[in-house]
Structure 1
Amino acid sequence: MPFRNLEGDSGFVVPADPLARFDELLTALDAGRGWMQDKAAIRLAAITLLVTPGDAKRIAASTRTASAVLGERLGWFSGVDESVRLVIAAHLVKADDHPEAFVDELERVRGMFRADKLRRGGVYEVLAVLVLRRLFGKIEPEHVERFHEIYDAMKAHHWWLTGPEDFPACAMLAARPEEPAAIGTGTDAIYRALHEQAGLSRGDPLQTAAHILYLGGLEAPVIVERFSGLLAAFRAAGAKIGTGEYDEVAILSFVALPAASIVATVRELEAGLRARLKWLSERDALSLGASLAFVRLAGASGELGTLADAKLLLDMQTIVTARQTASIAAISATT
């Protein structure tokens, strides 16, 4: 499968012990945590930087500096709060990118979005530009046009589900070789197969899983069979897999190992995380365990770097959605 090779990039080093490296980065990042910054952002930043070589304290300092620059340039009205900025900053440090250059590109590309009559997406536009920049370097009008066409193709199949929150996924799919209409049809085929063959509930989480699974370039019946087998193995091992965990299962579906081996690795790492982070919820432990397992199993083979990026960006999107939901609930409680 044509994914970016982690081992082939001298800027990435797969750690011998992903859990220990995560703990080291988490400690360094947490030392500078602001009072408005939630712990989920720290965890995701640490996961993002897992394959970045160097001293953990230096990496954490670079990430904090990049986050501060983003805060100055983006401002309060961008929809990008301190927690989301930190994870974006971690992506920039991982890619050896510069926050000033990123914001300059963001402003330029937003102008192209408006010229192409793409609806405004707030923070999701920022995440989409981050993805497009990672995929294409300098973003050209044809990239924006293709991104817009993929969004419209998805909207044609699921107009009630597809919105700005799907911008990051559309950006990831822009690197696929198929025509936008074929991408829309292909993601819909996976969505339908997940519902009809695997019996999963329709909705946004299922659409997100379908977007991830399409990145592998496999036919819907093949990848859905793999997904279903992994889902069954997780549940047989006692893991509580609901709609919120579909993306974890989707990402791990690309690891070329028996389902039982994948699940055993995730559960082992979950136990290690819960032992170190007593306050960690079961759901968060599963998500982090899946991310660490992905690095250990797939990263060590030098494959699937693009899917790893997709998972982290979707996790970032989850933070955005969760914070927006909390804000709406707080406003409703006062009216």
Structure 2
Amino acid sequence: MQVDMIRHEVETTYDKVKSLAGWSVTKNVVLTITSYYVTATEEFNAVNFSRAMASLKERAGWFSPLRGHLLPMMAAFMTQSANSMDEEADLLFVKQRALKQAGFRNSIHSYLAALLMSDDPKMFEEEAERAKKLYDAMKKQHFFLTSEDDYAYSMLLGKKGEDPELHARAMRVYYDALRKEGFRAGNELQWLSQVMTYTDITFHSRLVKRAAEVFKMLGDDLKVKPIHYPMIGFLTVFDVGDQKISEVISITNELERSKQFKWNREMALSLACGIMLHHLTESANQVGVSMATSFEMVLQAQQAVMAVTVASVAISSATSSSDV
């Protein structure tokens, strides 16, 4: 991969998104939207993006969690659909209502989870209930850590159809094992433990060792933070080799040279990981990425990681500002 071309694409897409998203949108959100288009090699379509934002605004009440600086991010994720933006917005709200009926709270995280649902209305209730059962089982394993920012992972992993109690228990086993390898306790480690069950809920100690190896490889050259734990998980479960990890480091270093990442360097590594995973899924025979259920699910997983991360940061920042 030509890292200079990747950097150019990021800078170009960033400027286009920023011009349409509005002055009130935080830089982290603009970078996440940019990451979505660059990672999925989707060309930014200004018309569709604007229509998606307008459709969401028309349907969101004044006190809706969609209002504010996170709305452009949701609009970007909607543009991947072949439906009209009005149809896609209507579908999103129907999905979110199904999640609310299943017991999920009305928050930005429930809308993120709704994005990961299928488009078959006959499946909405079943998918919502599966996600809620897994979420409740996760809550039993980690009562204080499990919160709204786990909604998207509950949906993504709940669609696997595993026994929720066994699945949640596997996450806890991974959490404890990863903690012993030096990963910092907290929400990010819980996300990593969830990702480790993406392809198989059976505990494998070798995956724990490999995650630690990937963490060290990245940490030797880059500043790796807990926020990167989920991406380390995907690099691990998709068996990404050392050579490709080195490429991730090269891409990250190139992106960090861009002014867009001057105060957001942690986003550079997340984007580099996403680009690598997308590249490998296009030639799945290379490194065992064929373990993934489908190319689309891998992309959805990446989007969920980025969206949940940014939503958590944005919401906490807004809360802190309001308390001042």
CA deviations over 1:192-218 (Å, ceiling 9, x no partner): 21113x122221111011111211216
Q: Is the 8 A contact 2:52 2:89 kept in 1?
A: no
1:261-300 matches, cutoff 5 A? 261-277=243-259, 279-300=262-283
Mapped partners of 2:257, 2:182: distance in 1: 34
In structure 1, the partner of 2:54 is: 68
Identify the residue that residue 209 of structure 1 maps to in structure 2: 192
Residue in 1 that maps onto 2:138: 154
1:144 equivalent in alignment to 2:128: yes
Q: 1:106 to 1:27 in 2, by over 3 A?
A: closer
| Identical amino acids, percent of aligned pairs | 19
CA distance, structure 2, for counterparts of residue 51 and residue 242 of structure 1:
20
* Structure 2 counterpart of 1:40: 28
Mapped contact 2:130–2:161 kept (Cα < 8 A): no
Q: How does 1:1-335 map to 2 (within 5 A)?
A: 18-50=6-38, 56=44, 59-116=45-102, 118-133=103-118, 139-196=123-180, 198-217=181-200, 219-236=203-220, 238-259=221-242, 261-277=243-259, 279-301=262-284, 303=289, 304=292, 305=295, 306-333=297-324
Mapped partners of 1:141, 1:109: distance in 2: 9
Aligned residue type for 2:62: W
- Report deviation, 1:20: 4.3
Question: Normalised by the size of structure 2, how large is the TM-score?
Answer: 0.85
Give the distance between the partners of 2:264 and 2:38, measured in 1 at CA: 21
The separation in 1 between residues aligned to 2:47 and 2:267, in whole angstroms, is 25
Q: Is the 8 A contact 1:270 1:286 kept in 2?
A: yes
Partner Cα separation in structure 2 for residue 179 and residue 246 of structure 1: 25
Q: Which has the higher contact order (CA 8 A, sep 6+)?
A: 1
Distance in 2 of aligned mates of 1:96 and 1:200: 40
RMSD across aligned positions (CA) = 2.7
Q: Which amino acid aligns with 1:263?
A: I
Q: TM-score, normalised by structure 1?
A: 0.82
- Seen in structure 2, the aligned counterparts of structure 1 residues 103 and 66 have a Cα distance that, compared at 3 Å, is closer
Residue 171 of structure 2 contacts residue 194 of structure 2 at CA under 8 Å; is this kept in 1? yes
Write the distance in 2 (CA, Å) between the matches of 1:51 and 1:323: 21
CA distance in 2, matches of 1:42, 1:207: 26
User: Deviations 1:112-162 (Å, cap 9, x if unpaired)?
Assistant: 44444x14141111111111136x665432222211111111111111111
CA 1:295–1:114 in structure 2 vs 1: closer, same or farther (change >3 Å)?
A: closer
On the 8 A contact 2:134/2:168 being kept in 1, the answer is yes
Task: Identify if the C-alpha distance between structure 1 residues 274 and 313 changes in structure 2 by more than 3 Å, giving closer, same or farther.
Answer: same
Q: Which amino acid aligns with 1:183?
A: H
Structure 1 segments, 4+ long, off by >6 Å, are none
